[in-house]
Structure 1
Amino acid sequence: MKMGSAWQRCVDRLDALQDGGKCIDFWLRDDDAVEPSPALDRLLDLTGRFSVPVTLAVIPASTDERLSRSLSSRMHVDVAVHGWSHRNHAPAIEKRQELGAHRPRETVAADLRAGWARLSALYPAALAPLLVPPWNRIDPGLVSELQEIGFEALSVFGPEDGEKCAAFRDTGLQLINTHVDVMDWHGTRGCRPHGDILRDIDRRLDEVENSGGSVGILTHHLVHDESVWEFLSKLFEITTSNPACRWRRITELIDR
């Protein structure tokens, strides 16, 4: 495989970890699944080819049996609850949120119960006890409700020990975040430069070496351009062939 300097630095870093006898957990979260599509098939074919487990954050209000039937033969897929309808309830002056404090807490909790119930029925074996809040934002006041519903873990974006997650620590709810986003949401809305993504992975490797945890990669199959697919293919090829990397199911991370 022909590699540029950024990719070679990634390989060198992983080789150094291997030489030091270290093994880092990676996991993949893909958001906004609702129905079968060519893009989703492409993601699942790619991850299946490299035996990379994937957690699909599914929007309960928008999905049905078509998706569950299409995933029934995909043994490397786990499903997480992605809010209820992925609808923004925040005013225009605030960042978008579905699970914020803009509605009565019992109303939001009822939505999450409905989401849990729907996906439990559609995915009795594949559903993980994980909540992925739309836009990676949630009112900390909902934590007690989450545990009563049956959630054991929460996944947003950023380091688990960062200020953004302070309110969720020491609550009994596990934090298993994503840390590296492949998409340039505020610019091209396509793939970020590969070198920038790899630098984020390198920074996260530093954090994991110092504090533990995993490297969570965040994707959105419906909006991937060819550069994203190229990046993921290279990343999977490099990491699955290096003993310093171990791609984990979200259920394994929760059980750990």
Structure 2
Amino acid sequence: MADWKALETELALWRESGQQATLWWRDDDAERPSDALEQLIEISDRFHVPLALATIPAGAEASLAERVKQASAVSVLQHGFSHLSHVPPSERKCELGNHRPLAEITDELGKGQAKLAELFGDAFLPVLVPPWNRLGEQVIDALPGLGFTGLSTLGPRSCKQKRLIEVNVHADLINWKAGRCFAGEERSLAQIITHLQQRRLGEVDSSEPTGVMTHHLVHDEGVWAFLPQLFDLTLKAGAHWCTAKEIFS
């Protein structure tokens, strides 16, 4: 059984240590308005929790830009280019790996960045979110030259990035192997608590906000019910949900 009390306890330990727990929210695979996106933005607005929308440039529509402009706290990050895998079926899916010429990849990323900047204006941040949270080292090395200032993948960040601001996500609310359904309260809370605890104890970079990753297009009722509970509890416990501009500047 999920233990929301354990999350309350962890946040209390942060307060007792004189620190404020920080978190951030990234949702992937946006291209156009939908009922699911509407529900996502409604939750963001209701709890005043900033939302970073990782948007696929190739499919991004002007109607999405219009909806984002109406929202109170939505930023846009770049989710690869087309979200297509370019690896053999036997390998883990990857768009930005080593199976294509680097020039082809950077050309796409540059075009994608220009399109999102034109569509979203100030709401767009030059932060790359690689599809499936994977990319090759040569692509990472090329990002600053393309004008990217940030990178977001999955797991506690390393100290390797010197020219990019890396802020990752640490809790995936979807269980992809079980049919793209809610991962469950127990697993989701455990991932959030683990990263918060590791930060507090200095086992990982304590300054990296704990990231929660969602995918609005595949949310079931479990995810929709979990998010308001999470936001309500963490806000009442004094945690701070960061904007993308805060953490990538």
Indicate how the Cα distance of structure 1 residues 178 and 192 shifts in structure 2: closer, same or farther if over 3 A, else same.
Answer: same
Match in the other structure for 1:27? 24
What runs of 5+ residues in structure 2 fail to find an aligned partner? none
Partner residue in 1 for 2:168: 177
Looking at structure 1, the residues matched to 172 and 118 of structure 2 have their Cα atoms a distance apart, in angstroms, of 30
1:139-183 Cα distance to aligned partner (Å, 9 max, x none): 11012321111111110111113xxxx7xx144112110010000
* 2:4 alignment partner in structure 1: 7
Alignment correspondent of 2:197:
206
2:213 to 218, 225, 237: 218
Contact 2:172–2:214 (CA under 8 A) maintained in structure 1: yes
| Residue correspondence of structure 1 range 21-170 to structure 2 within 5 A | 21-161=18-158, 169-170=160-161
What residue is the counterpart of 1:190 in the other structure? 181
1-structure distance, mates of 2:198, 2:124: 29
> Does 2:240 align with 1:251?
no
Residue-by-residue CA offset, 1:90-120 (whole Å, 9 max, x unaligned): 1112111110111100000000001000000
CA distance in 1: counterparts of 2:116 and 2:62, whole angstroms: 10
Identical-pair percentage? 36
Between Structure 1 and Structure 2, how many residues are aligned?
245
Please say if residues 11 and 21 of structure 2, whose CA atoms lie closer than 8 Å, have aligned partners that are also in contact: no
Deviation per residue, 1:33-62 (Å, 9 max, x gap): 000001001000001100000100000001
- For residue 231 of structure 2, what is the amino acid of its counterpart? F
Matched residue of 1:123: which SS? helix
- TM-score normalized by the length of structure 1: 0.92
Distance 1:38 1:95 in 2: 30
Residue pair 1:143, 1:171 contacting (<8 A) in 2 also: no
Among 229, 238, 241, the alignment partner of 1:234 is 229
SS at match of 1:227: helix
CA contact (8 A) 1:54 1:77 kept: yes
Counterpart amino acid of residue 224 in structure 1 = H
CA distance in 2, matches of 1:148, 1:16: 42
Q: Which amino acid aligns with 1:240?
A: L
Secondary structure (helix, strand or coil) at the match of 2:240 reads strand
In 1, the alpha carbon distance for the partners of 2:51 and 2:42 equals: 11
- Kept after mapping to 1: 8 A contact 2:65/2:120: yes
CA displacement at 1:20 relative to structure 2: 2.5
Looking at structure 1, the residues matched to 81 and 180 of structure 2 have their Cα atoms a distance apart, in angstroms, of: 24
Instruction: State how far apart, in whole Å, the 2-side matches of 1:118 and 1:188 are.
Output: 33
Q: Deviations over 1:10-48 (max 9, x none)?
A: 112212322222212100000000000010010000011
- Helix, strand or coil at the partner of 2:89: coil
**Residues 225/14 of structure 1: CA separation in 2 closer, same or farther (3 Å cut):** same
Runs of 4+ in 1 over 3 A off after TM superposition: none
Q: 1:107 to 1:148 in 2, by over 3 A?
A: same
- Separation (CA, whole Å) in 2 of partners of 1:98 and 1:5: 35
Query: Structure 1 pair 87/20, CA: closer, same or farther in 2 (3 Å)?
Result: same
Contact 1:133 1:155 in 2 (8 A): yes
- The 8 Å contact of residues 10 and 196 in structure 2, kept in 1 or not, is answered as no
Give the aligned CA root-mean-square deviation in angstroms: 1.3
Q: What SS class does the counterpart of residue 43 from structure 1 fall into?
A: helix
